[in-house]
């Protein structure tokens, strides 16, 4: 039997992916965001080979030094180089952002697919549980989970990922519900395609764009959440650097060494803006209503 897609009229329009990329490229703000993300990712990855100081090496002769030629961003309360800690801290922040969203997507999307596609009592059960989790403020859930799991960067990532998961369950379910009644899905079913094949070929590609947008925006939220948990002492543990824990320490030296507080916060701000800009750009580029 001829695949259904071949039955559709063949047009010479560009593919949706290309069209989205063309629209994304035309969005200057989104490109700025992408550059911010790429530069910080590159710095984080290159941290071990960059000619910077050891991020945990203390230097008692250089405690709380303001920015200078020797230490571009200054030093902290035990003489560690802030530039180096900032670059190494980017690893923790970006990793936390990306891993926790991966956890949320990998668990949340399949649950949402099952819930939306199969419906019935399983959908009802999943929907009620999702609603319950959405009723708990994201950060409170993450704090509670991190507290009970024990403080560490990996537990913070798990806590953030699990707290963000219901967003993806609900989003995926909603998308599936609107796609599954489309004519082409009905058509695929009528020619005898199995559930798995329909999900893979027709449903997943259609629910993918909004999930991509949401995932990008959630990375921004997750980075702030990781910084918040580390700031509270529930994330990255000392002496390893993370932007949140650097801010926590900096708070104790605000009048003596204000620079300690400026850089990590500015870094979080910048990277989060980057992800938000890219998320907004993707949202516009992937919106079929906007030409």
Which positions lie near another protein, rule CB under 8 A?
128-129, 131-133, 135-141, 143-145, 147-150, 220, 224, 227-228, 231-234, 247, 250-251, 254-255, 258, 261-262, 264-266, 268-269, 272-273, 276-277, 280
Min dist. Cβ of residue 22 to another protein (A): 22
Nearer to another protein among residue 7 and residue 270 (C-beta)? 270
Nearer to another protein among residue 205 and residue 258 (C-beta)? 258
Nearer to another protein among residue 79 and residue 233 (C-beta)? 233
Min dist. Cβ of residue 196 to another protein (A): 29
Report the distance separating Cα 184 and Cα 205, nearest Å: 13
Min dist. Cβ of residue 254 to another protein (A): 6
Nearer to another protein among residue 4 and residue 262 (C-beta)? 262
Nearer to another protein among residue 154 and residue 276 (C-beta)? 276
Partnered with residue 81 across adjacent β-strands are 75
Min dist. Cβ of residue 181 to another protein (A): 24
Min dist. Cβ of residue 43 to another protein (A): 19
């Amino acid at each position: 039997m001829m695949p259904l897609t071949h039955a559709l009229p063949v047009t010479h329009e560009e593919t949706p992916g290309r069209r989205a990329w063309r629209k994304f490229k035309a969005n200057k703000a989104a490109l700025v965001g992408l550059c911010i993300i790429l530069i910080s990712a590159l710095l984080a990855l290159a941290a071990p080979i960059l000619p910077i100081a050891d991020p945990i090496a203390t230097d008692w002769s250089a405690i709380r030094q303001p920015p200078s030629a020797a230490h571009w961003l200054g030093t902290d309360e035990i003489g560690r180089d802030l530039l180096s800690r900032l670059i190494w801290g980017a690893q923790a922040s970006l990793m936390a952002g990306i891993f926790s969203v991966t956890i949320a997507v990998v668990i949340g999307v399949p649950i949402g697919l099952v819930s939306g596609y199969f419906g019935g009592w399983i959908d009802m059960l999943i929907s009620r549980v999702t609603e319950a989790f959405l009723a708990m403020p994201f950060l409170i859930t993450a704090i509670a989970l991190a507290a009970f799991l024990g403080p560490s960067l990996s537990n913070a990532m798990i806590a953030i990922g699990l707290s963000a998961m219901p967003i993806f369950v609900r989003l995926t379910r909603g998308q599936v519900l609107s796609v599954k009644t489309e004519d082409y899905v009905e058509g695929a079913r009528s020619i005898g395609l199995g559930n798995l094949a329909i999900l893979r070929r027709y449903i997943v590609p259609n629910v993918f764009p909004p999930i991509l947008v949401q995932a990008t925006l959630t990375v921004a939220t997750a980075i702030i959440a990781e910084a918040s948990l580390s700031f509270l002492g529930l994330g990255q543990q000392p002496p390893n650097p993370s932007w949140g824990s650097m801010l926590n320490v900096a708070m104790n030296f605000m009048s003596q060494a204000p620079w300690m507080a400026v850089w990590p916060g500015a870094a979080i701000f910048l990277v989060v803006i980057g992800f938000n800009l890219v998320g907004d750009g993707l949202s516009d580029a992937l919106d079929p209503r906007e030409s």
